[in-house]
Structure 1
Amino acid sequence: MDNIDSKRFQNEVITVNSINAQDNISVTVQIDDPPSKLILVNLNLKDKLSKTRKRLEQNSKVKMNNALTFAYKISQTNNIENSLAEIAREDEENIILEEIVGKKNSILYLSSEPDWRFFRDKLKLEYGRNVNLEAKKRVIIIEDCEMAEIIDGCENSSTEIDLKADQIKKNDFISNAGANVPNFAKLRVSFGNTKIERSNFGTNSTCIISEYSKISLKFKLKSDPKFIEKVKDAIKSKNPRNFKKINEEFGHFIPQEVVLGGKAYFKKSNISKKCSEEISTKYVISASNNIEIENTSENLSKNNNNSKQECFKLIGRPQFNLNNFNEKTWVESLRDFRNWSCTKFKDPVSIFQPLPEDLRKQILLLVGKKILHMSTEDYTYYLVEPGMRQAFELKIPVNILEILQNKDSDCSIFATVIDKKEKDIFNCQVFWPSNEDPKLIIHCIQKKFKKRKCKLKIKWMIVGYDINFNFNHSDFNIKLKVLKYDFNASSHQAITRSLKLEYNPSVFCFGIPVLSKLDFSNNSLIIGHHFFNDENRKIGSYIFAYLVLLIVGYHPSSIVLK
């Protein structure tokens, strides 16, 4: 150690420190050109841009984010104005700061432009949402995004408002925060009506909506690992009620596409003669949704009838004073993408949908099948000749039909036909060819043929797995089990089969024949079945066709299905 030249070592350290000190200089950060903001920051010229970005993220004035990009200013040549050449995010690791900072004026240029990562963070697009569109917890990761500019995105519409008893009934205006959610029916989530107290308004009012769409974002999604672990824990618990708790904690749905921009709601009304004190109501939905709602009614003179238009809700740039709202100024503010908010949530899916296929199947098996749809319809049956049949078209809602056509739902249809006025018996079968929608085939059984007009009641239901993972109305006290057996109807042989179920007066069994084809061989074929209890107190079936059986098991505190 005595041979070390301590003075030389000390000089070297001083030299290095002096170099580092020289590299740290005051840099003027300019956002956009012409500048929207100028900030003085102390930076190290030898740092890579990736490291500089992290330092600027911590700066309270710059607030570096995914919407800001490093840029190099190209000097004016050949009468071409100065312009900014943007630097790709992936190149920031290979470029040092001094290569792009102006040597004369020490200016660092940042270019601002819409970036889906910026909107992802600002609007919490990876979070699950409930019926009021409030973001809950992160459930997915946006792997990639397709961003498309919307040209001529201005759209105006109007809706009549019925005002009675000094109240305005406006569907969804507050409950869904004004952002449209198409295709919500398939999730079977409904919004209730919201009443907003208002005074002094007559009965003739119109809601005018001005919507300015700027861009659309289409997402490629995958489930967040933390959410996956939460789902696995629920599966391990063997308790399907835990999926309801997950919905309460994380939300019900996520959009696969959003439209960003702004939307303003105006109420145009003919004001009546009544007068009262001024009433003002203000709602702030959330900072993440960037929505503010404010209503104000003014003092009115007696016998004063006139027309008035006021803005009562705004999406995008909520800092505006709605009492003195200037639509032109607001529209101008939407040139800045930082003021955009979600105006539409499109193609919503359950938060469980992006999960891996094996987890989705485990959830469906644990929850079990349920009644997806039930309907009772009146039908006029004309009996004109013996052995005739009639086909009844099922009026299946579009959202239920989508589930029915998905093989993963493994749906079955059950139906019964009743004629209360006569003693004739009606037999009902499901005709369900491959790649076609199902229908019912109805036969009338009489001791002695008689022409007549029958007024029937047809009750039918669809049972299957809910592939949309809607657990809102699930009754986990009722267990549905569907058994399917194939039989050769042409043999006309009756078959007795045990269902291996203990007799229980609380267990209800339903059955119906299902035909995959209909031709001369089975055109008038009547297929029957019944259930019985054998000597071992086991439930059995007596059947002679392709038959689907539905077993409803009763559990404590359950609702008996009748």
Structure 2
Amino acid sequence: MTSNKTIVFVEIVGDSIPTMKKLNLENNLSNIRKELKKNINDMNILLFAIKVGQIFAKTEPDDENDTILNDIIFENSGIKFLYLMKNSNPSWKYLNEKCKLDFGRITSFDGIKEASSKAFKLKDCEFKPIDSKGYKKGRLEFKSEEDWMKKTNLFFGIDINVQNFIGLGLSIGKSKDENFKDEINSTYVYTEIGKASLKFSKENLELTSHFSNDVKNAIKSKEHNKFREIIDKYGQFVPTEVILGGRVYFKGVKTLSENSTNKTKESSVNMSFGPPIAKIGGNSSDSERKSDFYSFDHMKILGGSPPVDENFDEKIWNKSLEDYRTWDCIELKNPINIFKLLPDDIYKEAFKSIGKRILRTIVKDYEYRLDNPERYQIIELTDEESKIILNKDADCDIFATVVDDDENSKKVFFNCQILKNQNAKPSIIIHVIQKEPQKRICKLKIGIMIIGYDVDFNFINSNVSVELLVNNNYNFNDGLMANNLFLGIPVLEYFNHLNDSITIGHNFRKLNNELIIEPFSYCSKKHCYHFSNLPQFSFYTIVIKNYSNIYESRILEYPKKDEIKFSDKCPKYISMYFSEADSYLPVFMNQKSEKVYLKHFCNKCEKCKQEPEYNIKLKTYSIL
């Protein structure tokens, strides 16, 4: 069998030992590069060269696809030579491979961690050198646990996306390190030399088949644990901007002394938490940047050549960074969740397969004037609070509860409904129910729960899931409700003068092994209940599974007993669950920080005449 390959001696200019390799002379240089990578580790920093007399001319990387190997072969006495020469200019491909820039990353208590497997392959990027402005000196201090976590994981700028990635690492780290507070209170001095920045976008990334297959299998399984495993394997996010260069930290700087003679300065720094074990040597002048003098007992270096002994010379370290092969990642910016980098159709399938989650809980303070001629008030959400709601992909809904801080206002009841117009963000309608008008201000706490698809995958580590049921038939499978917490709220599409005095309430009731939702209305003008011809609305029920927040279940024999006291003042979502009974009184709840009162506001309706007695189970879910 005839081979298309020819024996070629591959020689790196400056290296006296060539290597024999069989190569196809008709292959272009891009394919030859791939072949040589199998045996030459630093192929990404080498260029193909042509020998012209006694000198070597390098080829441009952009020409490799259009140039075949035979075009640059040097032949001497029938022996073929291929010359390679080191690229003096930084190679982003080399740095990407060395620093794993297109790998996912995971925040941790010990610093940023690289994923074990690659989700994407970087095809191209924007690579720019940084001028002398890349040289920085300063002190590194921490304002909070979150600030410490950000900076430990190489995030130094202001980026709202970063907060989404630091929570898990922070919670794990705090449980493992007893000296966490001491670390937050520590101080570092640092020297930073930024050499280049590398930026890329979603369009510059190529999805790997392994990552694609793992995500598709997780979608089919509909098990959120599979997505946890994917994050463990491929990382939480990919930073789409990286600063490369070197940074050195010295821990615990508390004092600084400086002596100046002419234009030359010498300084020394002593650490506050122990005897020094090493020194940094050098000096600096106005005309040339050199080293300062430090004493320290802890040092951390990113990039550059490490000291050969206990003495660290900043000048030598600075010089070593002239070789781009010593650069490292010193700052990460603009992180994007690995799932958001997927093709749009796979990304949407992924978050929908996990189901809806509790995305946020909010507690708003609100002053409600009882002498207001209107018997309701509408509470709008701020732009910041409703940001996630306006994301159509998240498909959000809200639930609400209201708490009156005044323990003495037992006879004033508040009730929540949701107003959800198609072209506007949802708002909360709060009705007041009172027999006799009062002139005072009630200080309320309004609890708001936002549920929807976790489009940012922020809650992938939570076992709590929710199921939203929108149904006007009101009958549900009791098996779904038996071991889970369920909450309900009426949702109106329209609200005007025709129904502004009507408050809609509801009772959950078990009947013939089915959970029945029986809505009713109360007119605050006529002070009467209605059980039919109700205003048009939808009833939303949320079933919370695997909940871990403060949960309590209490049974109340009503109407003999109409109040329950709790052990804390934390606002709660409360669901009333009536035992099987032929008849019952529709009641409203009045939550007063530590107490909950139940009240039927009538003594003349058809329900009152039956004088029923029954048990009411109150299931509570803490807001905070």
Fold similarity call, TM over 0.5: yes
Q: Give the partner amino acid of 1:234.
A: A
Pick one of 218, 236, 245 that aligns with 1:261: 245
Give the structure 2 partner of residue 245 of structure 1.
229
Give the structure 2 partner of residue 110 of structure 1.
85
Pick one of 12, 24, 41 that aligns with 1:29: 12
1:467 has 2:455 as partner = yes
**Is the partner of 1:145 in helix, strand or coil?**
coil
1:327 has 2:314 as partner = yes
Pick one of 114, 120, 123 that aligns with 1:141: 120
Asked whether the 8 Å contact 2:107–2:166 carries over to 1, the reply is no
What's the offset of the Cα at 1:373? 1.0
What's the offset of the Cα at 1:412? 0.8
1:172 has 2:179 as partner = no
Which ranges in structure 2 are unaligned for 5 or more consecutive residues? 256-268, 281-292, 520-534, 552-619
Give the structure 2 partner of residue 483 of structure 1.
469
What's the offset of the Cα at 1:455? 1.4
Give the structure 2 partner of residue 428 of structure 1.
416
Give the structure 2 partner of residue 33 of structure 1.
none
What's the offset of the Cα at 1:415? 0.9
Change in 2 beyond 3 A, CA 1:101/1:327: farther
Which ranges in structure 1 are unaligned for 5 or more consecutive residues? 1-15, 31-36, 281-294, 297-306, 486-495
| 1:81-135 CA distance string (max 9 Å, x none) | 99645253643652416546899x9783525243433233222234332223222
Give the structure 2 partner of residue 66 of structure 1.
44
Give the structure 1 partner of residue 303 of structure 2.
316
CA RMSD between the two structures: 4.6
1:342 has 2:319 as partner = no
Q: Distance in 1 between matches of 2:412 and 2:352?
A: 41
Asked whether the 8 Å contact 1:370–1:464 carries over to 2, the reply is yes
Pick one of 464, 468, 474 that aligns with 1:498: 474
Asked whether the 8 Å contact 2:121–2:208 carries over to 1, the reply is no
1:509 has 2:483 as partner = no
Give the structure 2 partner of residue 120 of structure 1.
96
Asked whether the 8 Å contact 2:49–2:72 carries over to 1, the reply is no
Change in 2 beyond 3 A, CA 1:308/1:394: farther
The 5 Å alignment of 1:331-410 reads: 331-387=318-374, 389-394=376-381, 402-410=387-395
Asked whether the 8 Å contact 1:430–1:441 carries over to 2, the reply is yes
Q: Give the partner amino acid of 2:153.
A: N
Q: Distance in 1 between matches of 2:86 and 2:75?
A: 14
Asked whether the 8 Å contact 1:127–1:140 carries over to 2, the reply is yes
| 1:3-53 CA distance string (max 9 Å, x none) | xxxxxxxxxxxxx99xx9xx86766522xxxxxx53431457984545754
Asked whether the 8 Å contact 1:46–1:97 carries over to 2, the reply is no
Q: Give the partner amino acid of 2:401.
A: T
Give the structure 2 partner of residue 528 of structure 1.
504
Pick one of 188, 192, 199 that aligns with 1:217: 199
Change in 2 beyond 3 A, CA 1:506/1:334: same
Q: Give the partner amino acid of 1:411.
A: C
Asked whether the 8 Å contact 1:161–1:206 carries over to 2, the reply is yes
Normalised TM-score (structure 1): 0.70
1:546 has 2:520 as partner = no
Q: Distance in 1 between matches of 2:367 and 2:234?
A: 48
**Is the partner of 2:44 in helix, strand or coil?**
coil
Change in 2 beyond 3 A, CA 1:124/1:244: same
Change in 2 beyond 3 A, CA 1:146/1:449: same
Give the structure 1 partner of residue 15 of structure 2.
38
Q: Distance in 1 between matches of 2:178 and 2:507?
A: 56
What's the offset of the Cα at 1:411? 0.8
Asked whether the 8 Å contact 2:194–2:246 carries over to 1, the reply is yes
Q: Distance in 2 between matches of 1:175 and 1:511?
A: 43
Asked whether the 8 Å contact 2:246–2:330 carries over to 1, the reply is yes
Q: Give the partner amino acid of 1:413.
A: I
**Is the partner of 1:343 in helix, strand or coil?**
strand
Pick one of 118, 134, 147 that aligns with 1:154: 134
What's the offset of the Cα at 1:541? 3.2
What's the offset of the Cα at 1:171? 2.0
**Is the partner of 2:215 in helix, strand or coil?**
helix
Change in 2 beyond 3 A, CA 1:256/1:550: farther
Q: Distance in 2 between matches of 1:330 and 1:273?
A: 21
Asked whether the 8 Å contact 1:24–1:42 carries over to 2, the reply is no
| 1:394-421 CA distance string (max 9 Å, x none) | 467x6x7553322121111111111142
Normalised TM-score (structure 2): 0.64
Q: Distance in 1 between matches of 2:101 and 2:312?
A: 29
Q: Distance in 1 between matches of 2:416 and 2:130?
A: 55
Asked whether the 8 Å contact 2:102–2:122 carries over to 1, the reply is no
What's the offset of the Cα at 1:511? 3.0
Q: Distance in 1 between matches of 2:76 and 2:254?
A: 58
Q: Give the partner amino acid of 1:500.
A: F
Q: After superposing the two structures, state which structure 1 stretch, 333-342 or 428-437, moved more.
A: 428-437
Q: Distance in 2 between matches of 1:73 and 1:417?
A: 82
Give the structure 1 partner of residue 260 of structure 2.
none
Give the structure 2 partner of residue 88 of structure 1.
62
| 1:302-330 CA distance string (max 9 Å, x none) | xxxxx956582221125335843333433
Q: After superposing the two structures, state which structure 1 stretch, 67-76 or 361-370, moved more.
A: 67-76
What's the offset of the Cα at 1:72? 3.9
**Is the partner of 1:458 in helix, strand or coil?**
strand
Q: Distance in 2 between matches of 1:275 and 1:256?
A: 38
Q: Distance in 1 between matches of 2:158 and 2:146?
A: 19
Q: Distance in 1 between matches of 2:277 and 2:179?
A: 9
Asked whether the 8 Å contact 1:147–1:216 carries over to 2, the reply is yes
Q: Give the partner amino acid of 1:148.
A: F
The count of corresponding residues between Structure 1 and Structure 2 is 485
**Is the partner of 2:104 in helix, strand or coil?**
strand
Q: After superposing the two structures, state which structure 1 stretch, 240-249 or 502-511, moved more.
A: 502-511
